[in-house]
Amino acid sequence: MSLGDEHGSRGEDSGYGGSGQTRTRYPDSAGDVYGGARRGGRSSYRSLITVVGVVVLLIAAIAFANRGGGDSGSSDGGEERADAAPTAASGKQPVETKAGGIPSGFAQDEQGAESAAANYAVALGSTNMFKKDSRHEIVDTIYTSAAASKLQGPMDKAYSAGFLSRLGLDADGNPPKGSTFVSRTIPVGTKVEEYSNTSAKVAVWYMGLIGMSGEVSTDPVSPTWKTWTFNLQWSNGDWKITSDSQKDGPAPVPGDDTAATSDEISKAIEEYGGFTYAR
């Protein structure tokens, strides 16, 4: 949904929606948050089993393909197998610098654009987007200056005290004492749809986690699957977002996992940190 589409359908915001400059998704209900945490219906934790199964199979396949043997081919054969897999690691090191806590200094090539898009999706899907100061820092860091200047005001309006309250947060974006608010974006893969030395269009397929973990929560943490497409521009030595849009899916068939308790989810969120994503 573009900025113009969403705000064109909401009378109080329609004035900004006609700018046509930057496309993004704003929250407009208790189940709709920036960065892909919107749920078009409650998803089951069972969908996570598919991801685990795919990862296990992938690891096994890689281990089998890379087994050494007396009659095995040269190292060139291994490179050919890696090139044939669209999600194979490039072997390049991830970035070592950060701006505002977000990875920066991506390479000016397709892999750099993919890494930038994946890391930007993570930042935009984080709980920091629900707090004004950190949200402003994120937007100023990963969008072009022109795009950021147009987004800040409408975003502040979208993340209103009323909207935050519907999510169980206070006006500053904090959860109730004893509860943990969860909002995470976990990229599964990236795809370059268009590329030049100065611009790129990259799609990020990801799973999002959203909800409140706590004994009195009425909105438990659950997953959602989305594809987030970023239009990037090479600006001041790094990739920056000029516009972005999202669509639902593709979502795997739900599995049969047993849902964790709120305490287990809260503990996992506190103990397991995120990643820096590199192609």
98 compared with 174, residue with greater pLDDT: 174
- Non-local CB neighbours of 56 within 8 Å, separated by 6+ positions: none
Two tokens, residue 173: 């974006």
User: Is the pLDDT reported for residue 115 higher than 70?
Assistant: yes
Q: Which residue has the tokens 């943490």?
A: 221
Task: State whether residue 182 is helix, strand or coil.
Answer: strand
107 compared with 12, residue with greater pLDDT: 107
| Neighbouring C-beta atoms of residue 28, cutoff 10 Å | 17
pTM: 0.69
User: Is the pLDDT reported for residue 63 higher than 80?
Assistant: no
Q: Taking a C-beta distance cutoff of 8 angstroms, is the pair 98, 104 a contact?
A: yes
User: Is the pLDDT reported for residue 68 higher than 50?
Assistant: no
Could you read off the pLDDT of 69-81 as tens digits, one per residue? 434 333 344 444 3
Could you read off the pLDDT of 222-268 as tens digits, one per residue? 899 999 999 999 999 999 999 999 999 999 998 888 888 888 888 99
- What's residue 28's pLDDT? 46
Distance CA 131, CA 111 (A): 31
Task: State whether residue 141 is helix, strand or coil.
Answer: helix
Query: How far is C-alpha 32 from the chain's CA centre?
Result: 14
